[in-house]
Amino acid sequence: MERDNFFGKDIISLNDFSRQDIDYILDVAQKIKDNPGEFKFSMKNKIMAPLFFENSTRTSTSFQMAMLHMGGNVMDFDVETSSLKKGETLRDTLMMIKGYQPDVVVLRHSLGGAVQLASDVLDCPVINAGDGQNQHPTQTMLDLFTINEIRGDIDGVKIAMVGDLKYGRTTHSLALALSKYNNCKIYFISPESLMMPKDVLKELQEKGIDFYENSLSDFQDILKLVDIVYMTRIQRERFSVGIEGEQEYQKIKNDYCLTRKMLKNVSPNLKIMHPLPKVFEIESEIDYTPYAYYFKQAENGLYIRKALLNLILKNNE
Ligand code: CP
């Protein structure tokens, strides 16, 4: 895709982007990372409306910082003090926002169709900041950027995705995105009740990517086969409310944790990624080892989001 082709576009799903599109975005993000002054005032007079109906630290702050670094403005919106608490619908809220004329809306919601609804209602571009169990496309772009940074290439990566693969939208998006690249190999490792959904596996099969489903007992051995281990958190908030949900969560929670000891015989080049937040699934002392790459990964979110805002809000002037 040429630069012009991004102008005014929504970012809803990774499926809307070809490998060439993604590579183009990663190149722009790399330029921004290498030249901190790049696009310094490019968002002057632009207003971003961040609508976060679910909690966020990284996605929300990196989008805000991206806009502020580039001289743009950010609307203040707090779901806790909004009229949603009085029962106003999402559609009505979006109708109001439309009237207030932001240049871009960044939306996170627990429902899969919420971002599409926003795109249908609003006149400005909408960026999906995570919609339920569905997609988190800007996270996937920063994950691909990070894999490329670690290895110098995305083609041929051997990656283990570990943890809550059922509810973890970042692993769904990343696995499908990797199927656009060549010779990648994915090892899925999860508790039995949190395996990768069948529809995602079917799509991966159709796209011809090499993948293996493994149990937690294979975790240690697989660490020796891969370049990258992509850990994920058990998504407590997606289990049922009440005692049954809590019991199921506690049982699974104790089942896996990546420890320093498990890294004894792995390649010195192994890197650990995690979309964050992490809770108990990585022993905290791993943070201080050269294996830990998750904080650099989170920083890369700033460059990807700056690149996307520029591509969709600025024409070729
Ligand atoms: N990785 C990610 O989406 O983090 P937040 O939930 O903090 O935005």
Calculate mean pLDDT across residues 51-64. Answer: 96
Pick from 33-42, 188-197, 248-257: least confident: 248-257
Domains within the chain, CATH numbers bracketed: 3-135+301-313 (3.40.50.1370), 137-298 (3.40.50.1370)
Q: Which residues contact 83 (CB under 8 A, 6 or more apart)?
A: 93
Question: Looking at ligand 1, which residue's alpha carbon is closest to its atom 1?
Answer: 275
Question: Looking at ligand 1, which residue's alpha carbon is closest to its atom 6?
Answer: 56
The Å distance, Cα 310 to ligand 1 centre, comes to: 21
pLDDT for position 4: 63
Annotated active-site residue 136? The verdict is: yes
CA–CA distances in Å: residue 279 to residues 14, 56, 108, 233, 312 = 27, 15, 21, 7, 34
Q: Given the CA of residue 55, which atom of ligand 1 is nearest to it?
A: 6
For residue 258, what are the β-bridge partners? 282
For 107-124, the pLDDT digits (tens) are: 999 998 899 999 999 999
Closest by CA position to 313, among listed 16, 13, 36, 41: 41
For 154-176, the pLDDT digits (tens) are: 999 999 999 999 988 899 999 99
Closest by CA position to 26, among listed 153, 196, 197: 153
Supply the pTM of this predicted model. 0.94
Calculate mean pLDDT across residues 55-82. Answer: 96
Q: Is any atom of ligand 1 closer than 6 Å to the C-beta of 139?
A: yes
Pick from 40-49, 130-139, 296-305: least confident: 130-139
Annotated active-site residue 198? The verdict is: no
pLDDT at 296 over 70: yes
Q: Which stretches of 90-197 are assigned E, i.e. beta strand? A: 104-109, 126-131, 158-162, 185-189
Annotated active-site residue 271? The verdict is: no
pLDDT for position 3: 62
Substitution candidate for ligand 1 out of 62, 107, 131, 139 with most atoms within 8 A of CB: 139
Average pLDDT for the chain: 93
Q: Which of 33, 46, 59, 69 is catalytic?
A: 59
pLDDT at 2 over 80: no
Measured from the Cβ of residue 261, the count of other Cβ atoms closer than 10 Å reads 8
pLDDT for position 5: 80
